[in-house]
């Protein structure tokens, strides 16, 4: 699958297609709040109010100042819509064919607009033939896809432990809706022989010099560090979800092929153990393998809390890759006052700069982040943690993420523009000379 530069005219036909009518779902206020609590009710004490790992120093890449054409990628974590969030979308827009999912993240949209390509994890199916549902088996109104496009999300992963929550037919319906609304996706297929499908998606963007750069995205699921956990314990008998473990050899070969045909490869694995703030050895080993195979960037998901980042150097050709083990939640009802863990409502918009040099080689030039906070108010919303509306909880989020990723790598939400490649240098705001 290949997608070219954003064109409003090209997207309008897809954006104007009305979604199918969803059945109404009712819940008491208590039931709504418990919806997000169920997942975190039995966390061990050390995960209830966790201390993030201390970042030793700002993240530095050796070719930060290399000349060339540049792009900035952004990424956020799980779009995980517990029922309170689905009901909010319905209550703020009475037209059931166009639920107002934008109310969940409207204040964060400018952060995506400042990047060239923005990514999110689409956590669950969107099958209009079935009623909307929540934990433990999710299902969304497909107009969620339309809302993400409007929010400047350019590509999503569909490979996660909730991909099969509505069975094989749910995967097929979700794929049809991705295509209907024109939202690029990676990680799932109609099923059959794994090698017979193109699991990746390629996004093209023009640089400031007018040249085109192509970035390939490839997703796989390996949640709970087991093949069974990759799909919530539901057997993937038709092989509809690319599996980081079962399909490892195919994935590594695919990364190599994509690296030769494109300027950069981004891998988005669904891995790790929920609510743990440190990456497991299995994640680190797999990340190294992704980089060795030719990937430049790895954006991880699944733990529902942030995990550290690091520079990983390829053991094969020495290129430097950026690995973020978990982006955490983007929007969910695992929010303050509901979740048992204080880390489930603290997250970031992550930025990674890419530079394509004159010799055709693309390198990572730096990484930055903007803290965001999932606010539990009558209108739940993901908003920049530095904003006045975030208050003390926003300040706690900033402190948490600065400890995780180092204060010097943070970029302010109210900056006129996100610092692109020229100023993603050594984690400071100064540009290369």
Where in the chain are the domains?
2-7+50-423
Full strand arrangement of the beta sheet holding 297-299? 2-3, 201-206, 212-221, 264-270, 297-299, 320-327, 306-313
Virtual CA dihedral for 263, 410, 347, 216, nearest 10 degrees? Answer: 0
The confidence score (pLDDT) of residue 416 equals 38
User: Could you tell me the pLDDT band of residue 114, with boundaries at 50, 70 and 90?
Assistant: confident
Q: What residues pair up with 284 in beta bridges, in sequence order?
A: none
pLDDT digits (tens, 9 = 90+) for 225-276: 678 889 988 999 999 999 999 999 999 999 999 999 999 999 999 999 999 9
Average pLDDT over residues 122-147: 96
**Does 3.40.50.920 match the CATH number of domain 2-7+50-423?**
no
- Residue 419's pLDDT is 46
Q: What is the mean pLDDT of residues 167-190?
A: 98
**Which residues, listed in sequence order, are joined to residue 188 by a DSSP beta bridge?**
241
pLDDT of residue 16: 26
Q: Are 400 and 374 in contact (CB under 8 A)?
A: no
pLDDT in tens, 291-322: 999 999 999 999 999 999 999 999 999 999 99
The answer to whether residue 171 scores a pLDDT higher than 60 is: yes
Could you give the CA distance from residue 233 to residue 373 in angstroms, rounded to a whole number? Answer: 30
334: confidence class by pLDDT, cuts 50, 70, 90: very high
Q: How many CB atoms within 10 Å of residue 193? A: 8
**Mean pLDDT estimate for the chain:** 87
What mean pLDDT is predicted for residues 28-48?
Answer: 73
Q: What is the pLDDT of residue 12?
A: 26
Per-residue pLDDT of 47-90, as tens digits, reads 898 988 887 678 889 998 889 999 999 999 999 999 999 999 98
State the average pLDDT over residues 113-142.
Answer: 95
Predicted confidence at residue 64, as pLDDT, reads 87
Write out the DSSP string of 343-385: TTTEEEEEEEEEEE-TTS-EEEEEEEEEEEEEE-SSS-EEEET
Q: Which of 337, 335, 375 is nearest to 105 (CA)?
A: 375
Pairing of the two strands 201-206 and 381-384: unpaired
Q: What global pTM score does this model have?
A: 0.90
* Helix or strand holding residue 320 (H, E): strand 320-327
Q: pLDDT category, 34, cuts 50, 70, 90?
A: low
Positive/negative CA dihedral, 149, 217, 364, 310? positive
């Amino acid at each position: 699958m290949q997608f070219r530069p954003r064109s409003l005219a090209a997207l309008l036909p897809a954006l104007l297609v009305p979604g199918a009518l969803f059945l109404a779902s009712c819940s008491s206020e208590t039931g709504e709040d418990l919806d997000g609590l169920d997942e975190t009710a039995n966390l061990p004490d050390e995960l209830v109010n966790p201390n993030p790992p201390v970042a030793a120093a700002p993240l530095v890449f050796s070719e930060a100042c290399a000349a060339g054409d540049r792009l900035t990628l952004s990424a956020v974590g799980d779009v995980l819509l517990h029922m309170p969030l689905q009901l909010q979308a319905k209550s703020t827009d009475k037209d059931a064919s166009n639920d107002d999912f934008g109310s969940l993240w409207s204040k964060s949209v400018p952060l995506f607009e400042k990047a060239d390509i923005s990514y999110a994890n689409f956590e669950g199916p969107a099958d209009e033939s079935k009623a909307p549902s929540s934990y433990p088996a999710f299902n969304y109104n497909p107009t969620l896809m339309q809302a993400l496009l409007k929010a400047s999300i350019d590509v999503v992963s569909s490979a996660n432990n909730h991909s099969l929550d509505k069975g094989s037919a749910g995967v097929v319906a979700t794929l049809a809706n991705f295509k209907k609304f024109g939202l690029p996706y990676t990680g799932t297929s109609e099923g059959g022989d794994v090698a017979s499908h193109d699991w990746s998606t390629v996004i093209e963007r023009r640089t400031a010099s007018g040249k085109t750069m192509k970035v390939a995205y490839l997703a796989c699921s390996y949640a709970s560090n087991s093949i069974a956990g990759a799909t919530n314990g539901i057997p993937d008998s038709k092989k509809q979800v690319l599996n980081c473990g079962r399909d490892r050899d195919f994935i590594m070969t695919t990364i190599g092929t994509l690296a030769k045909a494109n300027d950069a490869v981004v891998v988005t694995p669904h891995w790790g153990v929920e609510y743990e703030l440190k990456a497991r050895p299995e994640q680190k080993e797999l990340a190294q393998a992704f980089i060795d195979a030719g990937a430049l960037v790895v954006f991880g998901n699944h733990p529902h809390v942030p995990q550290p980042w690091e520079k990983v150097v390829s053991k094969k050709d020495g290129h430097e890759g950026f690995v973020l083990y978990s982006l955490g939640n983007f929007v969910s009802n695992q929010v303050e006052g509901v979740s048992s863990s204080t880390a489930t409502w603290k997250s970031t918009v992550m930025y990674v700069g890419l530079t394509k040099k004159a010799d055709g080689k693309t390198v990572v030039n730096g990484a930055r982040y903007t803290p965001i906070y999932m606010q539990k108010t009558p209108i739940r919303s993901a908003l920049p943690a530095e904003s006045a509306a975030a208050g003390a909880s926003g300040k706690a989020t900033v402190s948490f993420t600065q400890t995780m990723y180092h204060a010097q790598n943070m970029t302010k939400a109210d900056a006129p523009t996100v610092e692109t490649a020229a100023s993603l240098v050594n984690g400071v705001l100064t540009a290369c000379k």
